[in-house]
Each structure stands twice: as structure tokens, then as C-alpha cells.
Amino acid sequence: MKGFIDRVKIWVYGGRGGDGCVSFRREKFVPKGGPDGGDGGKGGDVIIVASSDYSNLLHLYYKPHYRAERGRHGSGKNKKGRDGEDVYIKVPPGTVVYCNEKVVSDLLHKGDSVVVAKGGRGGKGNTSFATPTHQAPRECEEGEKGEEKELVLELKLIGDVGLVGYPNSGKSTFLSKVSHARPKIASYPFTTLSPVLGKTENGIVIADIPGIIKDAHKGRGLGLQFLRHIERTKALLFILDATRDPVSDFYALQKELSAYNPIILEKPYLIAINKMDLVDDRKSFTELPLSPKPYLISALYGEGLKGVIDQLTVYIKAKEDL
């Protein structure tokens, strides 16, 4: 069973409008009462609303069809049919709605909503067709069909900082040390199989995604399908492995991000070289041709993490003040 779904296809159907009614007033001493057929009710709408009840789109993966209620038919005595009930589809904030590959709505915040399938108009009853020369109409209208659409929903998590690094570089350990998040941690690649959000004590939301590998932008590994989750972040933190070649890894990661979406690299970023507890020659790491100057950290032992978080806080506040 899949535990995290961030892209689904769903089908939505607006409710059909109720039919109008053909009816005539029938009362004692009123042998030729006029028309009194009421209009049909409007069909219900299908509405997508951002809600904190869900963290991903898994619930829609298993239930992809949503149909609003049809409007009730009109009746005699000019009674209008009841409108159909709307159907609400809850999604997590950060969900983008597409129809025919075009953005319908970007539901960024809790409570944001969009009508994705309008219900059909109710048909007119015969009362609406009465004229001075046509006083006993026997025609009415059928309710209109509601809209039907095929939609794609794509979740882009909303974090302040996106963690970027190769598998097993220590991103999950870093997140567990600076926040209350508890991602799975192990000494093998691809421990993180889905995005994880963590909040630091000073309120910064950090997004950890599965590690990126070479040619991730071509679909290799797990990174590509989750790169969209760092598109919304305000800053990036590259976490490099001190036991590998940090310089080569950094430029390779930048190349993958640029191939996916060059705009991502316009964000401010920091570089942290992790696993410094496993190296002997620390001085050589202070002279690496990297800019900005990398922070030397050990996520496992909590070394150097405060400086990283403090500088990220500066970046985030600067973005918020713009």
C-alpha cells in the first residue's frame, strides 16, 4: 500500500439540474386556473478545498470519482425543486489543480477553494412560459447536465527550506536533530522514500525529499518525482557528504536542479558538509572552492547545526520582508 501520494487523477461531475414541472392550478370555484409548475433545482457543484485534515493525496488515489447531487424536480403550486447538495473534496494546502494541462487553481492556504465542476441549471416550469396569448402552456424544460471534467491534482509541499543532497548524505539525521520530525534513518541509500516536513524551534519549516542521484531529471531514482516539493521553498540547504567529493557532488546536484527547473537555483542557499566526525583533515575542507563558504557539521553529534539554522533564519526573514 502506498503511504504518500502527491499526484493523482480524478474525475468530477456536477449534478444535473432538476426538470421543470407542468402543472395547473386546481381549486374549487377556479375551474380554469393558470399554470403553476415550478422550476427545477440547480445541480450541486463539485468544490475542492484546502484543508489541514490531510497531508497528501492518498485518499483521492483510492477514490477518484466525485459526483454532486442532482437538483430536485419542480412541482405544482409554483414549488421550486431543491438545489442539489455540493460535494467538497478536501486536499492539503499546496495542491495545484490542472485541467487539460492548464492550471485551474493553486490552493496555497487552508480554506482556499475552487469550483471545479458546476452543477446544471434547473429547467423552467410551465409557469415561465405563460404569456397573454398563451395562457395554458404545457411545455417545460429539462434540467441541464452538470459539467464533467478530468483533473490532475499535484501536491507541492509548503516549506521554508528544502534539503538537497545525495542519498545517505545525512539529510534525515539533520532534520531529526533540528526539528521534531522523526524520519526513518539508516546507513543505506534511499531511506527516505517520501517527503518529510519538520519545524525548528524558531518556526522554520524544513522539507526533506528523497536523495537525488545522477540523471534524476531524466527519471532515475526517487528525486525527480519529489523535486516539485522544493519549488515553493524560500531557500535551499545543500547537505554534502565529507566522505565523498563535496565539490563534485555540489556541482552535480546543481546541474540536476537546473535541468529540472532553473528557477530553483535562483533561491538563496547554504552549503553544509556533513559527517565531519568521520574525517581527520578538517582544514582542507575550509579551503574548498565552494561559495558561499560551507558550514562544517556533524548531524549525528549536533556539531555546527546552530550556525546553519541561524543563517537560514536570516534568509527566510529577508524573504518575508520583501
Q: Is the pLDDT of residue 319 over 80?
A: no
Q: Which residue has the higher pLDDT, 207 or 50?
A: 50
Q: Mean pLDDT score of the chain, rounded to an integer?
A: 88
Q: Kindly indicate the confidence band of residue 188, based on its pLDDT and cuts at 50, 70 and 90.
A: very low
**C-alpha span between 85 and 304 (Å, rounded):** 56
What topology does CATH give the domain 161-321? Rossmann fold (3.40.50)
Residue 181 pLDDT more than 90? no
**111 contacts 90 by C-beta, under 8 angstroms:** no
pLDDT digits (tens, 9 = 90+) for 143-168: 999 999 999 999 987 789 999 998 88
Domains 1-155 and 161-321 equal at CATH topology level: no
Residue 77: the pLDDT is 92
Least reliable range by pLDDT among 186-195, 258-267, 298-307:
186-195
**What CATH number has the domain spanning 1-155?**
2.70.210.12
pTM here is: 0.77
Q: Is the peptide bond before 292 cis (omega within 30 degrees of 0)?
A: yes
Distance CA 86, CA 117 (A): 10
Ranges of each domain in the chain: 1-155, 161-321
Asked whether residue 223 carries a pLDDT value surpassing 90, the answer given is no
Cα 75 from Cα 134, distance rounded (Å): 20
The residues near 150 (Cβ < 8 Å, ≥ 6 apart) are 9, 10, 11, 99
Phi and psi angles of residue 103, each rounded to the nearest 5 degrees, phi first: -70, 125
Tens-place pLDDT, residues 33-58: 889 999 999 999 999 999 999 988 99
